[in-house]
Structure 1
Amino acid sequence: MRGAAHLRFWAVLALALCIGAVASVPVVQAQTVQGPVLEAPLDYKAWEKLAASADDLIDDASTSSAELETLRLEIAGWRTRLLAAQGTNASRIATIRAQVDALGAPPAEGVSEPRDAASRRKELADQLAVAQAPAVAAVEAYSRADGVITEIDRVLRERQTEALLEVWPLPINPANWPVAAETVLGKVAVLTGEVRENLNDEAKREEAVAALPLIIGLLLFAALTILRGRALLEGKAFRLMERGTSDTREIWSFVTSLGQVVVPILGVLALTIALALSKLPGTFGLVVLTALFTAGGAVFIARWLGSCSFPRAAAAPTHLRLEEGDRASGRFMAQVLGVTLGLEILRDAAFTDSAATDAAQSVLSYPTLLVAGFFLFKLAKLLLRSTKGAVVNDATTPFSNRLIALIARIALVVGVLGPLLATVGYVRAGQGMVFPMIVSLGLVAFLLALQNLVGAVYAVLIRNDERGRDALVPVLVGFFLAFASTPFLALIWGARVADLTEVFTKLRDGFQIGQTRISPSDFILLAVVFGFWFLITRLLQGALKTSILPKTNLDQGGQNAIVAGVGYIGIFLAALIGITAAGIDLSGLAIVAGALSVGIGFGLQNIVSNFVAGIILLIERPISEGDWIEVNGVMGTVRGISVRSTRIQTFDRTDVIVPNSDFVSGMVTNWTRFNLSGRLIVKVGVAYGTDTRKVEKILQEIAEAQPLAVLNPPPVVVLAAFGADSLDFEIRLILRDVNFSVTVRSEINHEIARRFEEEGIEIPFGQRDIWIRNPEALGQISKAPDAPKPA
């Protein structure tokens, strides 16, 4: 059986295949709607036989893990069909229940029912029992299948744990070294024996000679791509980034750098095919060749990830703040870790079988494990050093730096603990820590490189190199990539593919609430349907606002009220249609909602009152956007009306949020709601002795000359009062738009000052006459000897 390292490397491919297999299984939900039509009735006898044999195999300790995995796969198929069978006769059951409901509630105890109604009720009850029988049997069988799968998973996990904690002979014990040497020599002998046997086979020699041109071409291609292709592409990517920094150049550099992986892996594949076509390798040789291809992929991928994380070009984007010397060390350590991983894959393929003893495997595994742990420790220290310069405080430290620091600390511990465990005999435990940690670091490096690429692509799309990388979309994509990598991390750290498919199955099958089964697909359908009708609502609002309502006689406030009302109704209907389409039955929540409504009503009474007031404002429209209003001492222009509050912009350009309930329960002054006209009063005083009729004529001319003044009724000039210092006049006029009252007042005052100056009319200011009753007393005081001398 192949070891864990080989399987981990192909985890990505295995996970993709499993997800595709799970997605291809038809999803049938046991809901209170039309049930599925099964191709053929289930053979419950065959299921009982399989379930009984599964119980025996689980209890038998000699059953291999491969047999249990095969059994689990077969039972999982039965479980899917049993889940589908739970919806059998769903439409018929719904019809019968509707008929029973039409008969009314059963009579109370001791009360007789008419014979025809009782007979019909009994007949429908019998039909309902018959119709429900297949679904009931499917539910029972489904529960048993789910339990058997749980038991198989438990046994396999226990075996996996036992294998991980198995103690092998000490690899540092010299007594075990000869066994390891004999095992290596034995494998070499097997390999050379297969080559000699194939060379002596005339038929295979003829096949090899016939394929010789192709073999030579493949070998030349392999030599060119492995020895020169990767280096050329690496140099090209380096020159692209050295010429300057831009998002477009970064994208092309990333695409070019991918050739460092693709091209040499194609070369390794060509080499593998050439050796296979030569007919030299035998059965064991083909196993080694397959492992060689995987190992080569590990080496070149590690080198590429190292160049992405520790780039040669100083302008290349990276999450690590390191000098050129440290970056070079990082690339070297990444390459060494890739080589050790490749060697582990080769060793796992060549020596993990029944012929290799535990002592031989322990000794042969220890050197690569020791080297991997050492360089993992060194790389972890380098990563920690790169994050220290970026750490200021928790508020300013980027999330990527925190993640790198956390992973580096874990790698630091693993790099020390893994070889120590192997030294005392827990070789598999050491392997299960060190190599998964290496692959995890590679996965994190790949995610960070992808995040940089997404930021560059988004910056190019929005044509903003400075803000594109820090925008919300690249950040969300980065979080999505991190979340999507969770299954791969689980596979890397020893999770079985069946464990992930089981999780996907549980998510797909959902959970039971009453008579309805809820699954994530229901919520996806709910979101899709709601999103569709929400989009229709927005389109309708846009059509009303821009095309239909402007052609009516409604004012702007009425148009806004209709558009807002359509939006609220549309959102409510979209939610209702989405819930109905998803088949979610909310009747079971009615009691809970009724119980909570009282408490929610008290706790949210202010919000509810503001919401109701907002609806009233939209219907009655006492105020509209653009109105000049005054409420609770706040004066300004209405800028927006929402369901909870209204935004008023004061004349000093500050926004005031006023709850809607204040407009319904309080006093509101609307200066411009139904008519923009408004009265303006301008006061002016002239000196006593001035010809009042002349002043009246001048002020009348000034008022009538204003463009915004209404001439019907005409402006009026009145002598309002005899003041203490002046004759007080008032200009009273109606303006077409009261919003310009301040401007008109200023223009009138300027014109008054100009005309009064031309006509010689004095605008007095406050004056006081002082009368001294006894001036002789002041003279006597000034003559006194101690009187103060004038300065």
Structure 2
Amino acid sequence: MSRTILRALALMLALALALPAMAELSANDIKAFTKASQKVEEAVAKASASDATLSEMRAEMVKWRTTFTAEQDANADQIATVKSQIAALGPAPEDGATEDALIAKRRTELTEQLSKLQAPGITATEAASRADSIIRTIDKLVRERQADKLLRLSPSVANPVNWPAAASLMRWMGAWIYDETRWRFTQPVNYDELRTNAPLIIGLVLAALVLLARGRRWMMHATDWLLGKTAMRGRNLISGLVSLGQVVVPVLGANLLVIAVEQTSLFGPILTELFRDAPVFLFTVLMAWWLGSRIFPARPGVESALSLGEEGRAEGRIHAVSLGLAFAAHQLLLLWIAPHAEDFLGGASDLAADQAQAVAERADAALSVLQAPLQIFAAVGLFRMGQLLRRKITSNIDGEDGAFRRQLLRWLGTALLLIALAGPVLGVIGYVSAADALVWPAVASLGLFAAVATVQSFLAELYVTLARGQEARRDALLPVLGGFLIALASLPILALIWGARIEDLLELWTSFQNGIAVGGVRISPTSFITFAVVFGIGYALTRLLQGALKSTILPKTTLDKGGQNAITSGIGYVGLASAALVAISTAGIDLSSLAIVAGALSVGIGFGLQTIVQNFVSGIILLIERPISEGDWIEVGGYQGIVKNISVRSTVVETFDRTDVIVPNADLISGSVTNWTRGNKTGRLVVPVGVAYGSDTRKVEKILTEIAQAHPLVMMTPAPFALFMGFGADSMDFEIRAILSDVNFKLRVLSEMNHQIAERFAAEGVEIPFAQRDIWIRNPETLLSGAGEGAANAAPRADPPPASGLVAARPEPGEGIARLSDNDGREDGDEGDDGEGGGEAR
């Protein structure tokens, strides 16, 4: 125990001694930053520093900004504690008011302590703001230099005066390499080293030659063999990966050859540097060829990212290889010739300023002349590729899914055509940098698009292989989302291709990490991820609790199905709301600053979402009061059906036609609703029936009562009965009135009773009448005479006579008219119904 106490005292003493050191270190950091920032600000103000120097200064400021940003939240817990203590003292007294001395003293002490605790954070915030301002100034200066470089007018290739500079550069480059190599071959020490490393060099050269000469062909044969294995699962995926060896194996051979060349010591540094860059050039050409073969496959019937025929695919492969050759030549010029151009043309460190300037101008003219043919060659490939995208691919992609692809390909083809036309023109005029900024990024972008499409194809094939089901498709949701994420991840690479700096991307990433301010609330990726994780956990727990209640606990209670569903839905709403509140609190999102914005929007939201809010409140009332429940048979708005689901906004009613009717909850609360099964399933059934005049009414009543009592679904308490309702126009009317134990079978019981009534009435000789009508004709002589005259006047017509019945022609004024009369002698002007023995009136 004593040792433990001594160790604790020693630890406390060490911490006490370390606190002043930490404070002194923080002060030293501020001094060092102030000195560094002043130096950078002076260099930026003069604008004389090189791009490399500015990049180093910017990196230093980024480190300082990161350090101070991390220190902005220093003493956050202590500050929150002190603020809560000050708040516990109550508000400060107003002017002229007195306060207890102890409280005033304590308030002063806490205020001073709060100021001391906030001082490091305020200092760090100020320093971080200054560093950020310096970083933005450096970025602005670099962008201005990039713009000036793009707009710089170089010597034009159209001017023949500049051609000798290019010829001189090529001649002196060859002479320089020749002299350097010849001198190395004359040194005996190099031959000694060659003899020492001869076995290794021979082995490397032989392996490199084999890989370069036969490696690509071997991998092609392996790919064809794998594609021929039609029964092998994932053969397309495996063959695609194996086909990548057509690039890797030759490049590996080129690297072995470079190692062998370095072991000889017979070549100078310039030629050795060329050998070292050769694998990069070879990789560029082979990768362009491989991507072209993946996008424009040579094998017929193989799916590709673009829908093309055999002719279009062959043309696409040719253009891909040509663009790869052009890009490799541009890399050769940029990485090897340009850095040594002034040396080849006679530049030296001891030259005078005017001579060095003349050499630099000659080198610039030579590079401009050499770049122009490469730009034109690449522009031709871009132009032909743009035509291919616009003319052939857009006509071969069908369906709604291909509409978006057609539009993208049309835009891409148009952009390639414009770049192919504008790039060489700018280069010939003399804006070589601007031409390079258009042509070569376009070529690299095509390669990036092809690589993304190839990776997406591999991902889709991997999904189909792993799914192992007939329903697995390449256009399923999972591979489509994966392809979208791959395309999204390629955007930073695309930005770098088109001139963005890595510092710019890092700055965007820093801003993204810091978050965005919305109404005074800063939402960062960390807070968003925290919110999503906590809310997801709360949502999962809520659904788990709902499932347990619905399947295990509530079925064992006496609650009906509607009550169980109401409790489950209520717990779901409460759980989701609680999960959202806990997630917001855990993520540290302060919504108090959004109160003013929410208050301003509440009026507009209230008017715009009035119906939705009304339905929402009505849904809550339905779940609490439960005037209807799931499974009830209701009638609302002219529809009858079973309630299937009660949600927040609406209720789903399944009609007896098996159609779903979406009823707003407000209509169920404010309107009239008939619930046939509310509380219980019993309901009354009324069966009307008529018998002919002269029938024994007592006998009919007895028969109907027996039929009602005999049905198993008819309840005996209260007992069913038959009523003689009165004398109708055609029959004596009776009704069966019975209470059913389950009103859901009302129509079936009605049908069954009608069958039994028909059978019993036929057996007992009770007649069920039907309506009869007699036709009374007024002034038949006028109708007959009018019909005769009409027949005489219409003799030439060959219309067939009516088949049967009496036809009443349209009478003239004063002529007779046919009327219908019921059996009781009443007349009306309606057309007569077809009855037994009656004619058809027209």
TM-score (ref. length: structure 2): 0.81
Cα 1:110–1:535 shift into 2, 3 Å: same
Cα distance per residue 1:427-455 (max 9 Å; x no partner)? 22222211111011111122233334444
Secondary structure of 1:170 counterpart: coil
Question: What is the CA distance between 1:742 and its match in structure 2?
Answer: 0.9
**AA aligned opposite 1:114:** D
Residue 210 of structure 1, CA deviation: 5.3
Q: Which of residues 633, 638, 646 is equivalent to 2:651?
A: 646
Counterpart amino acid of 1:510? G
- Say which SS state the counterpart of residue 355 (structure 1) adopts: helix
Distance in structure 2 (CA, Å) of the matches to 1:135 and 1:574: 33
Partner of 1:662: 667
Task: Answer yes or no: is the 8 Å Cα contact 2:520–2:593 preserved in 1.
Answer: no
Is 1:468 aligned with 2:465? no
Distance 1:472 1:778, change over 3 A: closer
Q: Secondary structure at the match of 2:343?
A: coil
Which deviates the most, 581-590 or 540-549? 540-549
Equivalent in the alignment of 2:3? none
Shift of 1:153: 1.3
SS in structure 2 of the partner of residue 104 of structure 1? coil
Give the CA deviation at 1:555. 1.6
Per-residue deviation, residues 112-137 of structure 1 (Å, max 9, x unmatched): 32322222222222112111111111
Q: Which residue of 2 aligns with 1:88?
A: 74
Residues 168-179 of structure 1: pairs in structure 2 closer than 5 A: 168-179=154-165
| Residue equivalent to 2:59 | 73
- Describe the SS at the equivalent of 1:682: strand
Task: Please give the alpha-carbon distance, in whole angstroms, between the structure 2 residues aligned to 1:127 and 1:631.
Answer: 69
Following superposition of structure 1 onto structure 2, how do residues 546-557 of structure 1 map, counting pairs within 5 Å? Answer: 546-557=551-562
Match for residue 740 of structure 1?
745
Provide the residue aligned with 2:343 in structure 1: 355
Change (3 A) 1:57 1:716: same
Q: Which runs of 5+ in 2 are unaligned?
A: 1-21, 345-362, 792-804, 807-842
The alpha carbon displacement at 1:633 in A equals 3.3
Secondary structure at the residue paired with 1:600? helix
1:41 aligns with 26
Find out whether 1:604 has 2:609 as its counterpart: yes
Question: In 2, Cα distance between the equivalents of 1:281 and 1:88?
Answer: 60
1:690 Cα deviation from its structure 2 partner: 4.1
Distance 2:419 2:389 in 1: 14
Match of 1:368 among 361, 371, 374: 374
Distance 2:482 2:524 in 1: 25
Partner Cα separation in structure 1 for residue 76 and residue 274 of structure 2: 56
Q: Secondary structure at the match of 2:606?
A: helix
In the alignment, is residue 125 of structure 1 matched against residue 111 of structure 2? yes
- Aligned pairs (5 A) from 1:508-587: 508-511=513-516, 517-587=522-592
2:317 to 331, 336, 353: 331
The 3 A distance-change label for structure 1 pair 380 and 111 is same
- Asked whether 1:420 is paired with 2:419, we answer no
Cα distance in 1 between the residues matched to 2:193 and 2:629: 90
How has the CA–CA distance of structure 1 residues 611 and 227 changed in structure 2, closer, same or farther, with 3 Å as cutoff?
same
What SS is found at the alignment partner of 2:26?
coil
| 1:138 match | 124
- Give the residue type in structure 2 aligned to 1:678: G
Hey, what's the Cα distance between the residues in 2 that align with 1:710 and 1:247?
Answer: 67
1:269 to 2:255 alignment: yes
Letter aligned with residue 456 of structure 2: Q
Q: Which residue of 2 aligns with 1:302?
A: 288
1:506 to 2:511 alignment: yes
Question: Contact 2:531–2:587 (CA<8 Å) still a contact in 1?
Answer: yes
CA deviation map 1:666-712 (0-9, x unaligned)? 33221112211222122223334445555445434433443333344
Q: How many residues align?
A: 749
Instruction: Give the Cα separation in 1 of the matches to 2:233 and 2:172.
Output: 55
C-alpha displacement at 1:624, in angstroms?
A: 1.1
Correspondent of 2:278 among 292, 299, 304: 292
Tell me what 1:30 maps to.
none
Does the 8 Å contact 2:640/2:655 carry over to 1?
yes
Q: Which residue of 2 aligns with 1:706?
A: 711
2:449 paired with 1:444: yes
Inter-partner Cα distance in structure 2 for 1:711 and 1:194: 121
Query: Is the CA contact (8 Å cut-off) linking 2:618 and 2:666 kept in structure 1?
Result: yes
3-state secondary structure, aligned to 1:648: strand
1:637 to 636, 642, 646: 642
* Deviation readout 1:514-572 (Å, 9 max, x if unpaired): 98754222222222222222222222222222222222222211121122112211211
Q: Work out which of the two has the higher radius of gyration on C-alpha atoms and give 1 or 2.
A: 2
- Range with greater deviation from structure 2 (380-389 or 188-197): 188-197
Distance 1:457 1:755, change over 3 A: farther
1:165 aligns with 2:141: no
Measure the CA separation in 2 of the matches of 1:513 and 1:38.
Answer: 35
- Mapped partners of 1:38, 1:406: distance in 2: 60
Q: 1:229 aligns with which of 215, 220, 241?
A: 215
* Cα deviation code 1:114-171 (max 9, x no counterpart): 3222222222221121111111111111111011111111222222222333333233
Conserved? CA contact 1:166–1:428, under 8 Å: yes
CA shift for structure 1 position 182: 3.7
Q: Does structure 2 conserve the Cα–Cα contact (< 8 Å) formed by 1:319 and 1:400?
A: no
Q: Is the 8 A contact 2:521 2:594 kept in 1?
A: no
Distance change in 2, residues 1:129/1:490 (3 Å):
same
- For 1:287 and 1:420, the matched residues in 2 are separated by 33
1:13 aligned residue: none
Q: Deviations over 1:338-385 (max 9, x none)?
A: 011112112212122253621222233233222112222222212221
1:732 positional shift: 2.6
**CA distance change for structure 1 residues 85 and 695 in 2, over 3 Å: closer, same or farther?**
same
- Check 1:684–1:164 CA distance in 2 against 1; reply closer, same or farther (3 A cut): same
**Do residues 377 (structure 1) and 383 (structure 2) align?**
yes
Determine if contact 1:238/1:313 at 8 Å carries over to the other structure.
no
Amino acid at match of 2:659: T
Cα distance between partner residues in 2 of 1:100 and 1:181: 83
**Kindly tell me: are residues 382 and 603 of structure 1, through their superposed partners in 2, closer, same or farther at Cα, counting changes over 3 Å?**
closer
Residue type at the aligned position of 1:580: S
1:729 aligns with 2:715: no
Contact 2:281 2:328 in 1 (8 A): yes
3-state secondary structure, aligned to 1:333: helix
- Once the two structures are TM-superposed, the CA of residue 585 in structure 1 deviates from its matched residue by 0.9
- 1:629-667 alpha-carbon deviations (Å, 9 max, x no partner): 122433222122111111222223333222212222233
Q: CA deviation at 1:408?
A: 1.5
Cα offset for 1:239? 6.7
For structure 1, the 5+ residue unaligned runs are 1-36
CA distance in 2, matches of 1:273, 1:69: 34
TM-score w.r.t. length of structure 1: 0.86
Distance 1:340 1:121, change over 3 A: same
> What corresponds to 2:352 in structure 1?
none
Partner of 2:99 in structure 1? Answer: 113
For 1:609-628, what aligned pairs fall within 5 Å after superposition? Answer: 609-628=614-633
Superposition pairs of residues 378-393 of structure 1, within 5 angstroms: 378-390=384-396
Instruction: Quote the offset at 1:208 in angstroms.
Output: 5.2
Asked whether the 8 Å contact 1:247–1:457 carries over to 2, the reply is: no
Per the alignment, residue 353 of structure 2 pairs with none
Change beyond 3 A, Cα 1:677–1:515: closer
- In structure 2, do the counterparts of structure 1 residues 376 and 666 end up closer, same or farther at CA, with 3 Å as the change threshold? closer
Larger RCO (CA within 8 A; separation ≥ 6): 1
- Can you list the C-alpha shifts for 1:223-249, whole angstroms capped at 9, x where unaligned? 344333333434554676688899945
